[in-house]
Structure 1
């Protein structure tokens, strides 16, 4: 008897629907360095070709995403047009204790956080006589609990409001689809309210994820923790609060943690040249700036990757979710590319860099044609073939 095939490990179905340009929101209690961090990120904004203004308003900024591969491709192809991936950052105000009940700016933050794909949570881990902590003492774990609970309570309020109408609807007429959605919403409400957990910490089925994605609930969003330390602690890479922060994050939401110093980054940003910035880093004994890491970690937290379309006319970086197949990746360029998909001609960035040219990549047998089941991987250079006259029928 032939041995049974080992069951394949099922991939966890990802929450959210990030597509194209990533949107991240900065949250935190007052006086933790949130706005300073936003301003530092805003200074990184470089005019993207198809975005005439990087800073959209005082609390929103769009910037090009740092990617050494993109820079290399632009130098290699010398295209007429260069379009990098972009990141939009929102400085979200209004998060104070009892904000879900209307304290501070109250509900003003709700729509802002709902609109983003993920959250940067700025956590204060520095002492300062000049900057008073709103809770009277620097206690990062208490701050983490405060904001986690505020967002969870806001989700509870919204879920309770959402479930009122489906309950009335299902009482009037036994709509199976509405009843199934109501059951899912009530299960989610119990998870958030009775179990006291974030939605992102759950293991949800495909049908449940479909419902969750339609409501963009706050605790379904991934969180990147930005631990703001003093310059001294950042340089010596030691802070008394870090172990407790790491323990809380691991036990609760298990998101990435980036220790950084807004104080250090501020001083660095005020230096006019890259040479002076590098000299300052060396002189004080630090390793590097963390700003690029903050931006790129936002992408990895959402399981996003980049692929490139390259040529003399244009080099462009595209953002897609892990596991996206070739036709759907083509679809973010134009719907006709997906509808009339024929194949994807693919080679790896590393192979191009190693071989030196597309012709050399082909000669080395590293240039491949891929069909509709191919999953695009990070760093793929792709040329899509499609037929615009295709009816799209299978």
Structure 2
């Protein structure tokens, strides 16, 4: 089966989460000016943009093309005290625990008509509130596990179950990192057993995060806002390496109302002229690609006259497991993977030319599939049930 690939949109109420979700996914989630407008999580898929699939579609004269998708989930706003149940926080935090990555959205636009639950706009403070609520929820879970497993190991004594002792040592290390040192699980140095424990707990702070800053349309066009440098400094200090993407919900939603590319182009030109900037364009494709990459996802292609299709796998996946994404029998009865590079195919013009150039490769079980590989799998026949 393909790996899970869901990103949850997380933030305080009224920062633009549902508006962002609607613009990103072409959805119609409620987007009103009051806290907890969203209660139940909304889910939608968005296509991962990639010009390569269009090129392959034309080259193979395929009947259809199937792109990769990223699933986005609009999660209700959290408030201070959410880990203790404030603002229906327990339910909302369980929704975050169920996703694989986080779009952490904060607000940097001033608008007297849009209520801010903290009374004023301060995106750095808002980031700290949400981050602390997520960490404290992990602390609650880890504390329970640490105490219960610790008592169990103590009862077993020196000659007790070795596996249970090893599990407790893993939990103890994670507990010390998240609870005592107040750090995110995703930023720790873990061995394979510790990673298994972290995954089994679905720790929220273990999930990759992409930070999104919602600007006014004018600030987005000018690429200026008094908070951006402060937000970047907070991320660099607390979560170095994480990505910050400024965008404008107002602009993206305005753009989504137009049906033709020409209308969108004219709107962008009008906004650019009004703010005396060279150009303005949508940032949604960058956000989608960044979210997809943050989940450590990639895809390979299968191509033919029937269809060109993207198959999502995790980075580092070996050939048999990649074949299993298409069908479990392909993994169980894997023989080889015939692989060519997209760049070689486009440069040389046909599969025959790739083969003639010696760039069509037969690969075995230990081969790690790379992004954009074009693959034909060979598998034996499945054993018949008696």
TM-score using structure 1 length:
0.87
1:385 to 2:378 alignment = yes
CA offsets per residue over residues 170-208 of structure 1, 9 Å max, x none? 244322112111111121111111111111111111221
In structure 1, what is the equivalent of residue 119 of structure 2?
136
Identify the match of residue 352 of structure 2 among 350, 359, 378: 359
Look up the match of 1:154.
137
The CA distance in 1 between the partners of 2:184 and 2:128, in whole Å, is 12
* 1:202 aligned partner: 188
Pairing 1:71–2:54 present: yes
Going from structure 1 to structure 2, the CA distance change for 1:374 and 1:287 (only over 3 Å counts) comes to farther
Q: Distance in 1 between matches of 2:172 and 2:166?
A: 10
- 1:1-394 alignment, distance < 5 Å: 19-43=2-26, 59-173=42-156, 174-254=160-240, 255-285=242-272, 286-389=279-382
- The CA distance in 2 between the partners of 1:293 and 1:167, in whole Å, is 46
- Structure 1: distance between partners of 2:77 and 2:148: 29
What is the DSSP-based 3-state SS (H/G/I as helix, E as strand, rest coil) of the residue aligned with 1:288?
Answer: coil
Shift in Å, 1:94: 4.2
2: distance between equivalents of 1:44 and 1:71? 24
Residue equivalent to 1:3: none
CA deviations 1:322-373 (Å, max 9, x no partner) are 2211112112222222222221111111222222221122122221111222
SS of 1:292 mapped into structure 2: helix
RMSD between aligned residues:
2.0
Q: Could you tell me how far apart the structure 1 residues matched to 2:83 and 2:77 are? A: 10
Kept in 2: contact 1:117–1:221 (CA 8 A): yes
Give the number of equivalent residue pairs: 363
Alpha-carbon offset, residue 63 of structure 1: 2.5
Distance 2:130 2:352 in 1: 54
1:288 to partner: Cα distance: 1.6
- 2:121 counterpart SS class: coil
**Distance in 1 between residues matched to 2:349 and 2:269, nearest whole Å:** 34
Q: Deviations over 1:120-147 (max 9, x none)?
A: 0111111112113221221111111100
Instruction: State how far apart, in whole Å, the 2-side matches of 1:381 and 1:195 are.
Output: 45
Moved more, 375-384 or 165-174: 165-174
Q: Contact 1:21–1:87 (CA<8 Å) still a contact in 2?
A: no
Structure 1: stretches of 5+ with no match in the other structure: 1-17, 46-56
Shift of 1:235: 0.6
SS of 2:93's equivalent?
A: helix
CA distance in 1, matches of 2:64, 2:14: 41
Look up the match of 2:32: none
TM-score, reference length from structure 2? 0.89
Aligned equivalents of 1:307 and 1:251: distance in 2?
36
Q: 1:200 touches 1:253 (CA, 8 Å); kept in 2?
A: no
Q: Hey, which bits of structure 1, 4+ residues long, moved more than 4 A?
A: none
Deviation track 1:207-239 (CA, whole Å, cap 9, x = no partner) reads 211211122110000000111111111111111
Can you give the 5+ residue segments of structure 2 that lack an aligned partner in the other structure? Answer: 29-39, 273-278
Q: Alignment partner of 1:138: what SS?
A: coil
Q: 1:346 to 1:307 in 2, by over 3 A?
A: same
Secondary structure in 1 matching 2:178: helix
